[in-house]
Amino acid sequence: MKSRNGPWGSTGFGLMEVFGRYRVLKELEVNEATLEKLEFSAVREALATYCACSLGKRLIESMEPATKTRIVREWLDQVRELLAVSEAHKLPPLGGIHDIRDYVRAAAFPTPLEPEALAEIAETLRATGPLRAWFELVGEAAPSLRRLGDRITDLTSIADTISESIDPRGQVRDFATPKLGAIRGVIGQTRDRIKGTFDRILRQTSVGRMLQYSGSTFHGDRMVLPLKAEYRGRIAGIIHRSSDSGSTLFVEPAESVELNNSIIRLRDEESKEIERILRELTQEVRQASRVIFSTVRAIAVVDLIAAKCKYAKSRSCVCPQLSDDGVLDVHEARHPVLVELFAGDAAEGAPRREVVPIDVRLGEDFDVLIVTGPNTGGKTVAIKTVGLLALMTQCGIPIPVRAGSKMPVYQSIYIDVGDEQSLQQSLSTFSSHLANLLDLLRHAGPHSLVLIDELGAGTDPDEGAAIGRAIVAELLRLGSHAVVTTHLSALKAIAFTSPRVDNAAVEFDPETLQPTFRVRLGEPGNSNALIIAKRLGMPPRLVKQAKGFLANRTRALNDAIAGTLDSRRGAEQARKHAREAQLEAEQQRDDFE
């Protein structure tokens, strides 16, 4: 299940070009369905809005995560450095830049480039001067950026050469060469003589009544008169054509024929001189094509990094620390797509909504996290948040978490998310769900992130729990990181018998009968069905009877869980306080430095 080629390689700044496309040397093992379920395209789209030119946008379109820690670290370092230096030097200047690579490729062919193409090339190459100066100004304060800047060549001299002949609108200047200036001067003089001839003819009263409308017009480069058909032959000259209705004849007066012939000859000379100029300028581009390509590729990366910085500032994102020990430890994580959605709603005048942040941990004291709680309580959002944060990190994109959060670099990411109600209604859907899980287990390994929604749903609860326990056991054997959601109480008990599994609960407010969307690590959740029934007015007698119908083992499990919650909550709270103290100390150290 390999993804398509992505945007970066292993050159000094993380890019290589292969047949005009960028690729990851070793891409993350993740299929298109996983990217779609995690809504990674929404992150791409949001990031693209911050690009200054099409170069960065095209890079984002093919952007996919890398698996080399060294490369991911370099990408994140580039963003960190730009965020830091932009406070003093602003972001790099990227105005006036176009994707000129197709034009540069076309310069290799015999046909000269069009003036409009050369104008775009000149504007882009002129921008390399200020951009190169910006990198010189940054200096050694940003080593990762400086390495990238070293690949940008100041090409303003080529831009100046082009601009001497081509104006910004893509027109060849009159004095691009002395010969062209002389030709156009004669053309102008001849035009004036032709105009004088027509003005003299049109001043004649007898001529005015013979015209279909006052004034002259053009047939190609030739000035003609719109003569009424009934006056054919009354004005000596050449009839070039008639109107569709036949009522108008377009006549070139005999007095202007030779002058118009001169214009035609001069235009031919002008075209030849322009073609010669364009060939010379195209040759300039052709000779510099290698350095132009290298510079444009580097500019594309600069645009991408700048877009990441703008995104980070706009959405309060930070660059996570990369953990060498494979630990995932994020604090106050917010779902990136929800952050974007709520910000968009607020911009359109809707009441401001805030994404409820969550804490998630994997790989330190446990590898599998089982999340339980009520429907629509945020379980699915939680696992998607983890997956999306991993994808973004490995693309070098800042993520919406608290500073000091840690992310590992995964080799593969797998997700199984389905509609729980459809699972309950269709055995064939359950079969598909199980087949997907089995395929997932065949590919997962010790550097995989596995996300499973509603494990064990869609079949008999006892059998579903048994299958769920077997899958969790296999994930532990494989050494994968996994976040699993479920409604099955039996799966909560795994955390009490396996040292590498822990529970998490999505909170439910029994007063409002609404989920809070908060996630509590270290304790299991429940569906709160009896609490909801009681709050909705179910008679106490029926509530008591319902409790009595609970299986003995279910009640025993719930009692056992309740008995351990206080100690688990205390341990988790102590861990949280210690981690917060560490984060604050690291922040103070960073501020001091």
pLDDT over threshold 50, residue 16: no
Of 59, 48, 77, which is closest to residue 8 (Cα–Cα)? Answer: 59
The answer to whether residue 129 scores a pLDDT higher than 70 is: yes
> Residue 367: which residues within 8 A CB-CB, separation 6 or more?
475, 476, 479, 480, 481, 482, 500, 501
Strand ranges inside 233-385, DSSP E = 237-242, 248-253, 321-322, 328-333, 358-362, 368-372
> Torsions phi, psi of 503, nearest 5?
-100, 160
Could you tell me whether strands 368-372 and 481-486 are parallel, antiparallel, or unpaired per DSSP bridges? Answer: parallel
> pLDDT tens across 54-83, in order?
999 999 998 889 999 999 999 999 999 999
Confidence of residue 2 (pLDDT cuts 50, 70, 90): very low
Kindly report, as residue ranges, where domains of CATH 3.40.50.300 are found in the chain.
Answer: 318-527
Angle between helices 128-138 and 69-89 (to 10 degrees): 100
Higher per-residue confidence, 40 vs 556: 40
CA Rg value for the chain: 36
- The angle, 0 to 180 degrees and rounded to 10, between the axes of the packed helices 336-347 and 289-315 is 80
Kindly state the tokens that stand for 201. Answer: 């003819």
pLDDT at residue 447, rounded to an integer:
93
Task: With a cut of 50, say whether residue 23 has pLDDT above it.
Answer: no
The Cα–Cα gap between 436 and 423 comes to: 13
Strand 248-253 and strand 222-228: pairing?
A: antiparallel
* pLDDT, position 586: 60
Average pLDDT score, the chain? 86
Quote the Cα angle for 477-374-521, to 5°.
50
Residues in Cβ contact with 495 at an 8 Å cutoff, skipping those fewer than 6 apart: 366, 370, 501, 502, 503, 524
The third-level CATH classification (topology) of the domain covering 17-155+288-309 is MutS, DNA mismatch repair protein; Chain A, domain 3 (1.10.1420)
Reading the block at residue 320, the tokens are: 């996570």
Residue 264: per-residue pLDDT: 92
Separation of alpha carbons 187 and 259, rounded Å? 10
Query: How far is Cα 89 from Cα 316, in angstroms, rounded to an integer?
Result: 20
Q: Are 187 and 266 in contact (CB under 8 A)?
A: yes
What would the pLDDT profile of 315-324 be if each residue is shown by its tens digit?
999 999 999 9
The pLDDT score that the predictor gives to residue 566 is 56
Using DSSP's 3-state secondary structure scheme, residue 12 falls into coil
Element at 300 (helix H, strand E): helix 289-315
Predicted local confidence at residue 391, as pLDDT: 97
Lowest-confidence pick of 22-26, 148-152, 205-209, 279-283: 22-26
- Structure tokens, 479: 């050494």
Distance in angstroms (rounded) separating the CA atoms of residues 378 and 359: 13
Does position 22 have pLDDT exceeding 70, yes or no? Answer: no
Q: How far is CA 22 from CA 3, 99, 144, 230, 420, in A?
A: 14, 15, 20, 69, 39
Helix, strand and coil content of the chain, in percent to the nearest 5, comes to: 55, 15, 30
Q: Are the CB atoms for 19 and 13 separated by under 8 Å?
A: no
Tokens standing for 246?
Answer: 């036949």
Q: Write down the pLDDT at residue 17.
A: 34
pLDDT tens digits for range 361-399: 999 999 999 998 877 678 899 999 999 999 999 999 999
Residue 434 has φ and ψ, to the nearest 5°, of -70, -40
- pLDDT of 422 strictly over 80: no
Band the pLDDT of 281: cuts 50, 70, 90: very high
- Render pLDDT for 427-446 as a digit per residue (tens, 0 to 9): 467 788 888 899 999 999 99
Which DSSP helix (H) or strand (E) runs through 200?
helix 178-202
Give the pLDDT of residue 563. Answer: 55
- pLDDT grade for 248, boundaries at 50, 70 and 90: very high
pLDDT the model gives residue 550? 67
pLDDT in the model for residue 220: 84
572, pLDDT greater than 60: no
Strands 448-452 and 481-486: parallel
The mean pLDDT value for 331-357 works out to 89
pLDDT at 6: 33
pLDDT at 581: 62
Digit-coded pLDDT (tens) for 490-509 = 888 898 888 899 999 888 77
**Mean pLDDT, rounded, for 103-128:** 97
pLDDT at 568 over 70: no
Instruction: State yes or no: pLDDT of 423 exceeds 50.
Output: no
End-to-end CA distance of the chain, in Å? 44
Please check the confidence at residue 536 and state whether its pLDDT lies above 90. no
> Is it the case that residue 33 has pLDDT exceeding 80?
yes
Cα–Cα distance, 305 to 145 (Å, whole number): 10
CB 391 within 8 A of CB 550: no
Contact (Cβ atoms closer than 8 angstroms) between residue 129 and residue 259? no
Looking at residue 149, its pLDDT comes to 93
pLDDT of residue 369: 96
User: Confidence band (pLDDT; 50, 70, 90) for 206?
Assistant: confident
Token pair of 461 as six digits: 């609860």
C-alpha to C-alpha distance for 589 and 593, rounded to whole angstroms: 6
Q: Which of 233, 229, 278, 224 is nearest to 252 (CA)?
A: 224
Please provide the DSSP assignment of 541-578 as one string. HHHHHHHHHS-HHHHHHHHHHHHHHHHHHHHHHHHHHH
Greatest alpha-carbon span in the chain: 116
> Which residue would you say has higher pLDDT here, 204 or 290?
290
Q: Which CATH class is domain 178-275?
A: mainly alpha
Q: Does 463 or 515 have the greater pLDDT score?
A: 463
Q: 530 pLDDT band (50/70/90 cuts)? A: confident
Q: Quick one: average pLDDT of 165-191?
A: 96
Residue 233 CB-density burial (10 A; 0-12 exposed, 13-18 middle, 19+ buried)? exposed
Mean pLDDT of 285-312: 97
Percent of the chain past pLDDT 90, that is, above it, reads 58
The top-level CATH class assigned to 318-527 is alpha beta
d(CA 198, CA 200): 5
CA gap 15, 30 in Å, rounded: 21
